[in-house]
Amino acid sequence: MNKISELIRFLKDPHAEKINLHKGRYEELQDLSNVAIEIGNAEAYKSLQAEMRVEFFDYLTAIVVDSVYKLVPHVLIIWLISLKWPSITVPIINWQVNILGAYLLLYLLIHIGQLLAKPIKSMLLPKLGLLGLKSSE
């Protein structure tokens, strides 16, 4: 069971460990660079800055690869949907909308709804607590 949960965690975000490794290494180099400035060691500072640049570009590369990994499923979904329905009609106003635009709009609406749901939920839970309803958390 532990192997299955580890596999699911890896498939959900396979590059998280590499990104965190590069980020941690970059922060460590930044701290060492600050120490080099404090003690006045210019040679160590230059060396650490060069190493920080390399680490930063490795970090950016890992983020880009992770972003592409997260984008590919959406491209495949849009492609599969567009094979069956290249465009859809909005019922009330009778507009023809490309499936790409409809998918992107739906995706943005879902994420905006998730962002707005957290503050609304946190405002409503105390008020609902007065009515005798308890949160499940």
Residue 62: closest CA among 9, 12, 20: 20
pLDDT tens column, 118-137? 888 887 777 666 555 555 54
**Mean pLDDT of the 12-21 span:** 84
Q: What is the CA radius of gyration of the chain?
A: 24
Give one word for 13, left, alpha or beta, with left for phi > 0 and alpha for psi -120 to 50: beta
pLDDT for position 6: 75
Whether the CA torsion 19, 21, 26, 30 is positive or negative: it is: positive
Q: Residue 103 is which amino acid?
A: Y
What does the pLDDT read at residue 37?
Answer: 92
* pTM, 2 dp: 0.62
For residues 98 and 92, what is the distance between their CA atoms, to the nearest angstrom? Answer: 16
